[in-house]
């Protein structure tokens, strides 16, 4: 099996690295501040403003770089929390089994019975759109999907001979989960991490577009699309820049995820 990066995976990895660089170094390399009004409204691209200006006269390139920090890093944090919670509960349900498995499974089914977007809108309307509330709500809702996958994968692994041998040796449940089940469940979980990251970034942008995500004047790509949507009526491309940034990030992550799946399951 060829473990070298394919051309598509190289392209995807390059896109991911560029987004991470923008998220980490964006505020340092941005030509203007996040909220600085530097020109007239919706100015076309020029030497002074490479991507033009937005609905308030702020530099679009600077807003995109600040938005990368707010969108990419926030999505990464949400995905990490959702995987920590979902994987832990999923492996516990699969390895312990019995009433623990039934209780966790039925509880997750109840949460998943509600449409994710509607439930998050209701909760955020009650709690407010602060960053801690946004992270907690999206991460907990996303962890239900991670739970279903990790539980399904771990149940197949939990019946293997080497897991039974570890149980007969008297190993504790936590040791079995960490040393026997988790290493063998990593390939599909790593691939799912990439997909969940895409979902989190798009979901944050959707909430911001609806007015319940990151609040102005903070820049994030979904909110930038909402703020500049009326520019389309005047034939301007301003709202397409943050939308294109989201699309490229999603494509890049999926290219790498596809390569990881082919590498772990060549058939």
Tally DSSP H helices, then E strands, for the chain: 11, 0
Average pLDDT of the chain to the nearest whole number: 89
Token duo for residue 127? 């709690």
What local confidence, expressed as pLDDT, does residue 61 receive? 94
What local confidence, expressed as pLDDT, does residue 152 receive? 92
DSSP 231: G
The CA distance from 24 to 160, in Å, is: 43
Q: Which residue's entry shows tokens 């290219």?
A: 255
What local confidence, expressed as pLDDT, does residue 195 receive? 87
Q: What is the mean pLDDT of residues 24-29?
A: 91
3-state per-residue secondary structure call for 140-206: HHHHHHHHHHHHHHHHHHHCCHHHHHHHHCCCCHHHHHHHHHHHHHHHHHHHHHHHHHHHHHHHHHH
Peptide bond into 33 cis (omega under 30): no
Phi, psi of 52 (to 5 degrees): 80, -160
Q: What is the mean pLDDT of residues 193-217?
A: 88
User: Taking 70 as the threshold, does the pLDDT of residue 157 lie above it?
Assistant: yes
C-beta of residue 223 within 8 angstroms of C-beta of residue 216: yes
What local confidence, expressed as pLDDT, does residue 1 receive? 41
Q: What is the mean pLDDT of residues 18-23?
A: 93
Residue predicted with more confidence, 264 or 34: 34
What local confidence, expressed as pLDDT, does residue 209 receive? 86
Cα-Cα-Cα-Cα dihedral sign, residues 179, 181, 187, 193: negative
The model carries a pTM of 0.88
Q: What is the mean pLDDT of residues 77-92?
A: 94
| Predicted confidence band of residue 60 (pLDDT cuts 50, 70, 90) | very high
The CA distance from 137 to 82, in Å, is: 10
Q: What is the mean pLDDT of residues 169-196?
A: 87
Give 228-267 pLDDT, tens digit per residue: 999 988 888 899 999 999 999 999 999 998 888 887 665 4
The CA distance from 106 to 233, in Å, is: 48
Domains of the chain as residue ranges with CATH = 63-227 (1.10.3720.10)
Give 104-156 pLDDT, tens digit per residue: 999 999 999 888 888 898 888 888 878 899 999 999 999 999 999 999 999 98
Q: Please report, rounded to a whole number, the percentage of residues in the chain having pLDDT higher than 90.
A: 52
């Amino acid at each position: 099996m060829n473990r070298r990066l394919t051309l598509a995976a190289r392209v995807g990895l390059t896109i991911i690295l560029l987004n991470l660089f923008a998220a980490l170094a964006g505020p340092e390399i941005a030509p203007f501040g996040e909220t600085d009004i530097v020109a007239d409204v919706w100015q076309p691209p020029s030497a002074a403003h490479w991507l033009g200006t937005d609905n308030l006269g702020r530099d679009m390139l600077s807003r995109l770089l600040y938005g990368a920090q707010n969108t990419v890093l926030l999505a990464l944090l949400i995905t990490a929390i959702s995987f920590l919670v979902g994987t832990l509960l999923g492996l516990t349900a699969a390895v312990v089994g019995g009433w623990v498995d039934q209780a966790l499974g039925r509880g997750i089914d109840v949460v998943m019975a509600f449409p994710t977007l509607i439930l998050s809108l209701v909760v955020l309307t009650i709690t407010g759109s602060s960053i801690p509330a946004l992270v907690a709500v999206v991460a907990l809702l996303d962890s239900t999907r991670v739970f279903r996958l990790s539980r399904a994968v771990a149940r197949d692994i939990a019946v293997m001979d080497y897991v039974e041998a570890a149980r007969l040796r008297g190993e504790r449940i936590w040791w079995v989960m960490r040393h026997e089940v988790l290493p063998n469940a990593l390939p599909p979980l790593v691939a799912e991490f990439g997909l969940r990251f895409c979902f989190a970034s798009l979901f944050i942008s959707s909430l911001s577009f609806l007015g319940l995500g990151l609040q102005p004047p903070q820049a994030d790509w979904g909110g930038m699309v909402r703020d500049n949507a009326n520019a389309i009526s005047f034939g301007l491309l301003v709202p397409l820049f943050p939308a294109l940034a989201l699309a490229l990030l999603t494509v890049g992550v999926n290219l790498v995820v596809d390569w990881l799946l082919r590498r772990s399951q060549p058939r």
